[in-house]
Amino acid sequence: MPLPKNEIQRLELLHQYQILDTPPEEIFDELTQLAADLFDMPMAMISLVDAEREWFKSKIGINQTEIPRSVSFGAYTILESEILIIPDILQDERFAANPLVILEPYCRCYAGVPLITASGFAIGSLCIFDSAPRDFSAKEQAILQKLARQVTRCLDLHQEKIINNTQKSFNLLFQNHPNPMWVIDCHNLKFLDVNNAAIIHYGYSRAEFLQMCVTDLLIPEDMPSLEQHCAQKISNANCSKEWKHLRKDGQIIDVEVVAHSIEYPSYNACLGVIRDITNRKQKEQTLHESEARLRAISQAIPIPLFISRLTDGLILHANQKFIEIFRLTPEDSINSRQASEFYHNPDERELILKALAQHGYVHNHEFQFKRPDGTSFWAIASVQFLTFNGEAAILKVFYDITDRKNAETSLQEQNEFLRNIFENIPLMIALIGVNGKPEWVNQEWERTLGWNFQDFQTRDVLEASYPNPKDYQYAVNFIKSAQKIWGDFRTQTQEGRVIDTSWTNVHLANGQIIGIGQNITERKQTERALKTQLEREQLMRTVTGRIRQSLNLQDILNATVREVRDLLQVDRVIVLRFASDMSATVVAESVVNGWTASIDAQIVDTCFQTGAGKEYYQGRKRAIANIYQAGLSECHINLLEQFEVKANLVVPILLQVSEENPCSGLWGLLIAHQCSRTREWEENQLDLLDQLSVPIAIAIQQSSILQQAQIEITQRQTAEAELRSALAEKEVLLKEIHHRVKNNLQIVSSLLQLQSQTLSDPEVIKVLRDSQNRIDSISLIHRNLYTAPNIGQLDVADYIQNLATSLLISYQVSPAEIGLETYIDSVSLNVDQAIACGLIINELISNALKHAFPNQKVGTIIIRLCNLGDRIEMTIRDNGIGFSKEINWKDTNSLGLSLVYDLVTEQLEGTIILETHHATVFKITFPQLTL
């Protein structure tokens, strides 16, 4: 974060204004509103840049009151001499983390003018924001700078008001202060002003005081001291000293005068604050006499004690027993030693002072002393404040407990071995007292649950770990039972995270219980994941089975929403279908009793109709834990509120539009609603809903295909009847037949494609694909027939080229891997011959693609069709690895080769020869027939 060169002076000036964290003021709010109105901006503010933050004195259109300086706009604006313009904030990486940019109100452009004081320091800015990128003209910039100067003038007026109020407060405080106060001229010590307390305390009137000097109040014995004091201190006059003063009635009083140099018109003046200490002096004299008696008594007490000064720890007094226990010699000077010299731990004195400051005394405090000869001993002491010789001091009385401490140390060493075992064992261990309260826990317990043992002193940790009353009572009963069995619990850690734990108890003879536990969260997560997976698979099987059992789409959708609601334990599951205008209707619903039903409801959602649902076209899915915190539009929230929705899961149902346009079409949405409360969703729940959208889409497509097939069959039957009754329309009707046949074959091919998507066995999928390719080769004949200019005239070259190319695409073979060459003469084939040739080409090229070029071998396939007078010769050649000599291709279990042989010999009434010298070549000859 950049800083101005004069940052320290800038911050001092800012604090002098005394405006930070002050309430809103009308003048600043009016200037902010004026800036927003002039530039037609939704957001504006007056900000002040402190050391660590940018604070908003006035703001329009912004909820925050301050933001960290490290990401603020003002931190950069105060570096400018005139204005900072950011037309598009998203293009400036300096403000990528600014809360006003990444959160509401999503600022996109900024213009700010530094607030520069008369001394040249920039203390803040006047700035405006917009939610869209924007440029500012020179005139607009000049207007904003003029407004900023007005804000600076208002800040100066605010400072002047503070100064005036401060002066008034000083005068009021001076006159009404309960202690005598006066102002004197430092040069001649004459009184310039006195307050009412001074007039009352000394007995002089104000007029008398103003004719007097300070020396008029002193006794003659203090005059030399005053002259010396003036020579040394009067230059700065910031000092404190005790004097004896004469009152007007002749009484001598003891006073303490605290003097401060002040600014006073036309004078080098000094402010004196006087405190009457006559009573204190009398008490001190009495105390000195008491301390003398105390010193004599302390020497006779047979218990070590010493008194040390509070300020620096210097020992002021120690009795004879203290000297004996520390083995001091007569040559040792006790009064020149610090108390900390006798502490084994140098920080012990600071700890005692803190305890004294908190409680006023310390009883039975154990610590270790050290002697000058290097030996040490343990003591138990009582400590308290007292006044000794007029100084604040500490009295410490102690006893030697070295023998007891040695015994305790031995016992601790004996228990250390067991403690180490309990601390390092990878199990949680807690010792429960007879009152049911934990008395000790090991480190693994603290590390796993996040609590410290000290937390037991201030709260019921067991209740915090099980906030549910039933869970808490179950845990208490389990501990009291002390059964040697393992019990599983859902335990809440100190951070609020819920983990799985397992516990068992051991009952001790003295009534205590040892609780032993372990963290089984990972195991439980695995178990829950397996259970969720089984439930998901069961649901998928149920939905898939319903699709197979029935092609009734409504039955499938009703069963799906019912199963999903039971599995996810939500209040409502619906299937929403969109019309062409993006209006929606609930076509299937399962809802818990008591919540508003939405089945068959016409959903009027202008958000979708204005394009807000575009992300669903791209397959976006959403898990919304709270509809009011998900950034939804107002119209969307209003719609959800109609059906009492608090949280939901939404996945799109996408259909494939067509083979020519493989982009997905949005059919509708599958939605799970939580109405009773907000809900944090698990990722697998959204994935489950997303996976279910696929079989639902398949069911919709199957239903659509079935309806289409039924319609087309009806149309075909109608067309055939019309052909029989209207021979004059033979050509048109024949084309319609070929068209319908081609469509039906494509439907069968699509059904095979859909069926293959539900299978996982590669061999079965392969068989279905081969069958699909055969059907496509026949379908291509009919397409060429009805698209030909003359019915019955088949373009053989175009047909074979398209057939071979589609096979390469089907097997996902690129032209760079296997080349395709065709040499087709002008020949005439009737429909039966064309279908037979197409099937033969399909089987032989498929066989070559599957077996002739292993390991991505590069090669070429050549197709020739020659006219030999009254016969036709068709040759299919590939330069692959060739046929195995051990295979009798005429007598094989291969369906494809058997089909080729039967088509040649029976359908075409021709012959077929296989050559395998340098390549694999099938030569097929058959008679040319009349169409």
Q: In this predicted model, what pLDDT tens digit does every residue of 478-517 receive, in sequence order?
A: 887 777 788 888 888 888 888 889 888 888 888 888 888 8
Count of Cβ atoms closer than 10 Å to residue 596 Cβ:
12
Q: What is the mean pLDDT of residues 567-580?
A: 86
Residue 245 near residue 255, CB atoms below 8 Å: yes
**92 or 776: whose pLDDT is higher?**
92
pLDDT surpasses 60 at 838: yes
In the three-class reduction of DSSP (H, G, I as helix; E, B as strand; rest coil), residue 747 is classed as helix
Terminal-residue alpha carbon distance, the chain? 88
With pLDDT > 90 as the criterion, what percentage of the chain qualifies? Answer: 11
Return the pLDDT at 663: 46
CA–CA separation, 760 and 770 (whole Å): 16
Contact partners, residue 274, CB within 8 Å, separation at least 6: 179, 180, 181, 182, 198, 201, 245, 255, 256, 257
Please report, to the nearest 10 degrees, the dihedral formed by the alpha carbons of residues 250, 256, 262, 267 taken in order. Answer: 30
pLDDT at 474: 84
Specify the pLDDT at position 422. Answer: 65
Q: Which of 215-219, 408-412, 702-706 has the highest mean pLDDT?
A: 215-219
- Read off the amino acid at residue 489: F
Q: Which of 116-120, 525-529, 578-582, 681-685 has the lowest mean pLDDT?
A: 525-529
Q: What are the CB-based long-range contacts (under 8 Å, 24+) for 539-548?
A: 539/563, 539/564, 539/567, 539/688, 539/692, 540/691, 540/692, 540/695, 543/692, 543/695, 543/696, 544/695, 544/758, 547/695, 547/698, 547/699, 547/702
CB-based contacts of 163, cutoff 8 Å, min separation 6? none
Percent of the chain with pLDDT over 70: 84
pLDDT for 510 equals 81
pTM exceeds cut of 0.75? no
The confidence score (pLDDT) of residue 168 equals 67
* Cα 808 versus chain centre, distance: 50
How many residues are present in the chain? 931
Per residue in 579-625, pLDDT (tens digit) is: 877 778 888 899 998 898 888 776 766 666 666 567 777 778 888 99
* Residue 571 confidence class, pLDDT cut points 50, 70, 90: very high
Strands 818-824 and 859-868: parallel
- Going by C-alpha positions, the residue among 623, 626, 651 that lies closest to residue 637 is 626
- Whole-angstrom distance, CA of residue 581 vs CA of residue 889: 59
Whether 931 shows a pLDDT value over 50: the answer reads no
Token look-up 């000049």 returns 142
DSSP state of 839: H
Contact (CB, 8 A) for 668 and 578? yes
Looking at the DSSP bridge assignments, the partners of residue 586 are 576
- Output 143 or 659, whichever has higher pLDDT: 143
* DSSP code at position 137: -
- The rounded distance, in Å, linking the Cα atoms of 442 and 354 is 30
**Average pLDDT of the chain to the nearest whole number:** 81
Give the single-character DSSP code of 433.
-
Q: Which tops the pLDDT comparison, 314 or 748?
A: 314
* Residue 883 φ then ψ, to 5°: -80, 145
Beta strands 572-578; 622-624: pairing state:
unpaired
Of 424-428, 439-443, 882-886, give the lowest mean pLDDT range: 882-886
d(CA 926, CA 913): 12
